[in-house]
A and B are shown apart, each in its own frame.
Chain A
Amino acid sequence: MSEQSERGVPVRESEPILEVRDLVKHFPLTQGVLFKRQVGAVKAVDGVSFDLHKGETLGIVGESGCGKSTVAKLLMNLEQPTSGTIRYKGEDITKLSARALRAVRRNIQMVFQDPYTSLNPRMTVGDIVGEPFDIHPEVAPRGDRRRRVRELLDVVGLNPEYVNRYPHQFSGGQRQRIGIARGLALRPEIIVADEPVSALDVSVQAQVVNLMERLQDEFGLSYIFIAHDLSIVRHISDRVGVMYLGKMAEIGTDEQIYEHPTHPYTQALLSAVPVPDPETEGRRERIVLEGDVPSPANPPSGCRFRTRCWKAAERCAEEVPLLAVPSLYAESESGAAHPSACHFAEERPVVAAA
């Protein structure tokens, strides 16, 4: 890993390994039984762009319904995008033939949220972790598989003697390790992790997060880390994107987003996270938003956040704000100079330093 610094932060000049541009996914809403006609669409993802560099972790945060899991499915090619491109090493993977897609898929793997339902209860751990080799036999010749599976279990901190056990014989944290071992089997370059620690106990979460960081350094992996827990995302990510209702509201390095947020939604989100320290907690200013997230089938015009925003003005209803560095900070060296999709983007520190 010569091109990486010690914490796995990539040299920014490097070519992005994954380039996502204007990604859109609309799920049709239909009416009628025999003659289905489309009456609308759930705009789950509506124009999302970002890059992922080698060895980097991009965190994606947002509340339920913001489209973050749909982005994960699109990246995995489990869903076909309505429009937009996903370039892996320059090649658009949304338009590949089945055969070419299979080769690409080897390099992009996924770790799921729920370790209880993402492992087949009737397969042994050895079969689960070794299954990717059935689809990609070129990675491990038949006779070698057993050994490879034991190696993988060892890498994720499980006893290799457990190959013949079934998922129900493991705890939640151990199952998540099995899921990670399966994700690593084909030596991928990118791992898309959708809420990988949300279902785990607090003391076990730290173990799994540490494991993922160690594996990243060891294998030079790039992560897309999707979560709703902002503290964990800050811990693991080099860059963070904040999503709201199918759009990217703000994107930047972890310091830019957490110390210098300029989008009102990011500010509200950060201020709402309870900090486990009663003394700073009392000193923090809390922004409590009114109401709920609107339905993605019928999003507000203009800026999607305007219905809950305290800064909303007429312009917000008419004009969709673009994700760009706010003009206020265009010349500035400060942390606030990063893309933010708000007409009135302005820095407001909300995370009190300890």
Chain B
Amino acid sequence: MTLLEVRDLHVDFHTRDGVVKAVNGVSYSVEPGETLAVLGESGSGKSVTAQAVMGILDMPPGRIPKGEILFHGRDLLTMSAEERRKIRGARMAMIFQDALSALNPVLTVGYQLGEMFRVHQGASRKEAKAKAVELMERVRIPAARARVGDFPHQFSGGMRQRIMIAMALALEPDLIIADEPTTALDVTVQAQVMELLADLQREFNMGLILITHDLGVVADVADKIAVMYAGRIVETAGVKELYRSPAHPYTKGLLDSIPRLDQKGKELYAIQGLPPNMAKVPGGCAFHPRCPAARDVCRTELPPLAAVGDGRGSACHFWKETLGE
């Protein structure tokens, strides 16, 4: 059975300036052991979708008017709060971007790691502490036994991110959602953390949703990709197909606009204009004001996410031409 299936999810925010439709009909699925990368710029709805899946969206102002989130076939949105709480943390866990603000600064890391076992499994303090040490060893924190009583500020950025990963793994969840897990880290540390995450995923056969804006990290670890723009998925594909032949002009523009380590290159291709204001999303295809291939139909008609062969999808009226180039 599919581990997680999001179907036609909509998320609105009610603000003073009116209703902001942050997510408009997003569907994706993750199988056990699979890595789905959700790629998008700020405001594309990638994190809001993940928060809805985790059930940590602030409601109000958020609202989910439509959609289903099936976890092992059961809809999370119709569950009682009590049932949902049992799943969150135990069966699915989240890793945040900024470990320093995600960890409690006045509690030791050992206490925070042990909390998982005390709350979910009713472990005693002593058992919880032993398990915390075990977890810290598993994420390769040196001298784990000596450092279990340290506070978050006593660890470096990379070590703190390891503690976040340890916390997410504590109860051996089936699904991990990682929201920009390495964005705040240095390159050499980023490589360490991604490698650790990939090893652990393999070991436990977990599904992983990796939310990021970094096309490099995605190419490295993902099996498939969903590209989001203005609250919708504009392209889905296996990682190789997407990089070889993007089927949406936005994806193509993104790929062309990044400087390459292995090439000097001339002027960079730049996507014109700015990401849209989500309170005033352009009509028709939301990307049309920035799209080099836009025509009349793009201004009036919303392109559906159409199948473009072997499990790929593109929400562009002219995907054939984009692919053909």
Give the B-binding residues of A (Cβ under 8 A): 63-64, 171, 173-174, 201-207, 209-210, 213, 228, 230-232, 234-236, 254-255, 258, 268-270, 272-281, 286, 288-289, 291-293, 351-354
Q: Are A274 and B186 in contact (CB under 8 A)?
A: no
In the assembled complex, which residues on chain A have CB atoms less than 8 Å from the CB atom of B269? Answer: 206
In the assembled complex, which residues on chain B have CB atoms less than 8 Å from the CB atom of A254? Answer: 264
In the assembled complex, which residues on chain A have CB atoms less than 8 Å from the CB atom of B159? Answer: 292
Contacts A206-B257, A288-B191, A288-B195 given; does A275 touch B262 at CB 8 Å: yes
Q: Are A351 and B214 in contact (CB under 8 A)?
A: no
In the assembled complex, which residues on chain A have CB atoms less than 8 Å from the CB atom of B215? Answer: 202, 276
The answer, yes or no, to whether B213 is at the interface (CB within 8 Å) is yes
Determine how close the nearest CB of chain A comes to the CB of B145; give it in whole angstroms.
18
The answer, yes or no, to whether B291 is at the interface (CB within 8 Å) is no
Chain A residue nearest to B256 in the complex (CB): A206
The answer, yes or no, to whether B104 is at the interface (CB within 8 Å) is no
Chain A residue nearest to B190 in the complex (CB): A272
In the assembled complex, which residues on chain A have CB atoms less than 8 Å from the CB atom of B305? Answer: none
Q: Are B262 and A63 in contact (CB under 8 A)?
A: no
Determine how close the nearest CB of chain A comes to the CB of B210; give it in whole angstroms.
12
In the assembled complex, which residues on chain B have CB atoms less than 8 Å from the CB atom of A209? Answer: 259, 268
The answer, yes or no, to whether B271 is at the interface (CB within 8 Å) is yes
In the assembled complex, which residues on chain A have CB atoms less than 8 Å from the CB atom of B158? Answer: 292
Q: Are A278 and B190 in contact (CB under 8 A)?
A: no
Q: Are B259 and A202 in contact (CB under 8 A)?
A: no
B: number of interface residues (CB 8 Å): 47
Which residues in chain B, 147-186, are within 8 Å of chain A measured between CB atoms? 156-159, 186
A306 vs B76: C-alpha distance when bound (angstroms)? 51
Chain B residue nearest to A295 in the complex (CB): B156
Chain B residue nearest to A230 in the complex (CB): B261
In the assembled complex, which residues on chain B have CB atoms less than 8 Å from the CB atom of A281? Answer: 219-220
Determine how close the nearest CB of chain B comes to the CB of A59; give it in whole angstroms.
12
Report which of B191, B261, B270 forms a contact with A206, defined as CB distance below 8 A: B270
Report which of B192, B216, B244, B271 forms a contact with A274, defined as CB distance below 8 A: B216
Q: Are A277 and B270 in contact (CB under 8 A)?
A: no
Q: Are B262 and A352 in contact (CB under 8 A)?
A: yes
Q: Are A203 and B254 in contact (CB under 8 A)?
A: yes
The answer, yes or no, to whether B20 is at the interface (CB within 8 Å) is no
Q: Are A274 and B214 in contact (CB under 8 A)?
A: yes
Q: Are B258 and A289 in contact (CB under 8 A)?
A: no
Q: Are A203 and B271 in contact (CB under 8 A)?
A: yes
A175 vs B74: C-alpha distance when bound (angstroms)? 46
The answer, yes or no, to whether B255 is at the interface (CB within 8 Å) is yes
Flag B246-276 by CB within 8 Å of A: 1 or 0 each.
Answer: 0000000111011111111101111100110
Contacts A231-B259, A351-B262 given; does A276 touch B219 at CB 8 Å: yes
Report which of B42, B188, B213, B261 forms a contact with A63, defined as CB distance below 8 A: B188
Q: Are A275 and B213 in contact (CB under 8 A)?
A: no
Q: Are B262 and A353 in contact (CB under 8 A)?
A: yes
A236 vs B268: C-alpha distance when bound (angstroms)? 10
Contacts A203-B271, A204-B274, A354-B262 given; does A276 touch B188 at CB 8 Å: no
Q: Are A201 and B275 in contact (CB under 8 A)?
A: yes
Q: Are A202 and B258 in contact (CB under 8 A)?
A: yes
In the assembled complex, which residues on chain B have CB atoms less than 8 Å from the CB atom of A201? Answer: 41-42, 213, 275
Q: Are B268 and A289 in contact (CB under 8 A)?
A: no
Chain A residue nearest to B272 in the complex (CB): A207
Contacts A203-B253, A278-B239 given; does A273 touch B219 at CB 8 Å: no
Q: Are A279 and B240 in contact (CB under 8 A)?
A: yes
Contacts A268-B188, A289-B188 given; does A275 touch B274 at CB 8 Å: no
**What are 29 sample pairs from A and B whose C-beta atoms fall under 8 A apart?**
A63-B187, A203-B41, A203-B253, A206-B257, A206-B268, A206-B270, A209-B268, A228-B186, A228-B187, A230-B187, A231-B258, A231-B259, A234-B260, A235-B259, A258-B261, A272-B187, A272-B190, A272-B191, A273-B187, A274-B190, A274-B191, A276-B219, A277-B243, A278-B220, A279-B244, A281-B219, A288-B192, A293-B186, A354-B260
